[in-house]
């Protein structure tokens, strides 16, 4: 049963792990720890919500524990100012593959990347992110704004390079 569950969800959850890890080896460690916890606590699943969502939450929590061990510095809202946002044409986004987008997100500073993934990809609120990471909700908001700004700058740079 465990083997079937792993085969069915490991690839999908590896995608989650890669978004938070610094490299593939760390992502594999997170995935392994996530499944160990899933199997250990599977009896606690109460059937409220989706089973996949419950498992995803466990994997994300494992990733967050790894991030906390790295002691990522989250920049407070008033510490950094950013220049004006460049204009991005929709065609520039259309030309990017999922792998290209993942590469851009992975190039973000760790704090920005973590908050971006939790809010944009996983769907957490700023309040939930603040609680998960031990930061203020305003810091979460600031990190997200800065992450988006950096991604827009990277996209604008790519757009200039590709014409």
- In tens, the pLDDT along 42-75 reads 999 998 889 999 999 999 999 999 988 876 656 5
Q: Are 104 and 116 in contact (CB under 8 A)?
A: no
Output the domain CATH number for residue 13: 1.10.1740.10
What total number of domains does the chain contain?
Answer: 2
Query: Rounded distance, CA 52 to CA 147, Å?
Result: 28
- Global pTM reads 0.70
> What percent of the chain is helix, strand and coil (3-state, nearest 5)?
75, 0, 25
pLDDT tens figures, 65-102: 998 887 665 655 444 444 444 444 445 555 667 777 78
- Is 163 in a helix, a strand, or coil? coil
> Are 154 and 99 members of one domain?
yes
Task: Note down the domain range covering 116.
Answer: 90-162
- Determine the pLDDT at residue 94: 59
């Amino acid at each position: 049963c465990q083997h079937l569950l792993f085969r069915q969800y490991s690839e999908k959850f590896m995608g989650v792990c890669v978004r938070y890890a610094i490299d593939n080896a760390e992502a594999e460690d997170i995935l392994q720890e996530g499944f160990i916890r899933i199997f250990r606590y599977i009896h606690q699943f109460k059937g409220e919500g989706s089973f996949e969502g419950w498992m995803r939450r466990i994997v994300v929590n494992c990733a967050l524990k790894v991030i906390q061990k790295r002691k990522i510095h989250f920049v407070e809202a008033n510490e950094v100012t950013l220049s004006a946002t460049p204009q991005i044409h929709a065609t520039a986004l259309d030309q990017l593959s999922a792998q290209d987008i993942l590469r851009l997100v992975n190039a973000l500073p760790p704090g920005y990347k973590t908050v971006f993934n939790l809010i944009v990809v996983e769907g957490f609120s700023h309040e939930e992110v603040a609680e998960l990471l031990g930061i203020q909700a305003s810091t979460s908001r600031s990190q997200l704004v800065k992450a988006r700004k950096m991604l827009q700058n990277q996209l604008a740079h790519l757009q200039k390079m590709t014409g």
